[in-house]
Amino acid sequence: MRLLGAHRTLPDIPDRAVILCFHGVTERRLDPDIECDVLTLPAFRQLLDVLDRSFNVVSLAEMVEALVQGHALPPRCITITFDDGYANNARLAAEELAARKMPWSVFLPAGLIESGGWQWVDDVRVLLQRGSRKQLQFHWEASDLLLDLRTPKLRLQAVRTVHEACRYVSEAVRRIRLGELYACYSEDEIASAREQYPAFAPMTWNQARELQSAGVDIGNHSYSHIALAPQPTDLIHQEVASARDLIQQRLGGYHPHFSYPYGRPEAISPQAEAIIREAGYRCAVTLEQNTIDFRHPNLLQLPRLIVSTDVGRVLFGLWQRFIR
């Protein structure tokens, strides 16, 4: 069965829907070692065309309302979301989605939009994969960490090691470790490396305003894009409320949707969920790779499927989940 045609065999299973999580889109040739969450523009168009023909694309607000009210949605229901607020969401993805009249949501790490700062996870990929250093050494967790960067395989492993060491930790620990890593590279080298990968540049508030004016749903992706669960209570409050208030200040309007940074179980806790509820959010989305079961939904932990660069695999994954 051809993957791009598998969707034609899907049954009309009730009480099941999928939220997709995209990150970036580029018109340039991909660097697969670094731009692992970025789709080429042709691949993005191909995927949207299949969704347009064979699925029912609804807004996140419509899906949440159906969950709250217990209303039925059309079969093979899909919601489109983007995390991290990259400029290409506004520059490239928005036009393609508008041409197909598809509703979508974008979740902004408000502090990074405000400062124009890059995501540290992207910097780690760029610097370790394409930077000048052949070896790095740190003293983390009371032991020496040696990162060998001499081959592509070793560089990939080094990226994973740093991501694991800095993702699900307290903000204090994360800042220390990343500070040591950034200190290994000059400001000029960091700036030059970033210029080579414009897909990771954040959007501006002006772009966010244009999206909102066009009807795009703007959501909260925290202030600093840090995992919430490992943080103390006051910092979780700050990350949620500061981002909420800044988005309201810069954009106005109503923004009832939240996306957990990193979205995995290690980033989510009952405490974080309670704070998000208290902040007035109607739903929160995760990166738990699953469909939404309308019979037992948790509105503050709605699962999503990450969209990879392999469109065939994405479509096959959708096909599998709608026939189970």
What one-letter code names the amino acid at 290? N
Q: Are residues 103 and 185 in the same domain?
A: no
Domain hosting residue 49, numbered range: 3-117+202-323
Task: Name 42's Cβ contacts closer than 8 Å, sequence gap at least 6.
Answer: none
Count of domains observed in the chain: 2
Q: Are residues 106 and 241 in the same domain?
A: yes
Q: Report yes or no: 251 and 208 within 8 Å, Cβ to Cβ.
A: yes
Question: Among 130, 160, 195, where does a domain finish?
Answer: 195
Q: Are residues 256 and 144 in the same domain?
A: no
Residue 94, pLDDT score: 98
Q: Are residues 266 and 311 in the same domain?
A: yes
Q: Report yes or no: 93 and 82 within 8 Å, Cβ to Cβ.
A: yes
Q: Are residues 103 and 227 in the same domain?
A: yes
Q: Are residues 102 and 216 in the same domain?
A: yes
Question: Among 173, 195, 217, where does a domain finish?
Answer: 195
Cut 0.85: pTM above it: yes
Q: Which tokens go with 32? A: 């697969």
Residue for token pair 């990350």: 239
Q: Are residues 76 and 209 in the same domain?
A: yes
Q: Are residues 90 and 215 in the same domain?
A: yes
Q: Minimal CA–CA distance to 285: which of 275, 274, 300?
A: 300
Q: Are residues 93 and 168 in the same domain?
A: no
Question: Among 195, 223, 246, where does a domain finish?
Answer: 195
pLDDT tens, the chain, 324 aa long: 344 455 555 556 667 899 999 999 999 999 999 999 999 999 999 999 999 998 999 999 999 999 999 888 888 899 999 999 999 999 999 999 999 999 999 999 999 999 999 999 999 999 999 999 999 999 998 789 999 999 999 999 999 999 999 999 999 999 999 999 999 999 999 999 999 999 999 999 999 999 999 999 999 999 999 999 999 999 999 999 999 999 999 999 899 999 999 999 999 999 999 999 999 999 999 999 999 988 888 999 999 999 988 888 888 788 777 765
Q: Are residues 272 and 300 in the same domain?
A: yes
Q: Are residues 125 and 243 in the same domain?
A: no
Terminal Cα-to-Cα distance of the chain (whole angstroms): 17
Domain of 268, CATH number, reads 3.20.20.370
Q: Are residues 66 and 208 in the same domain?
A: yes
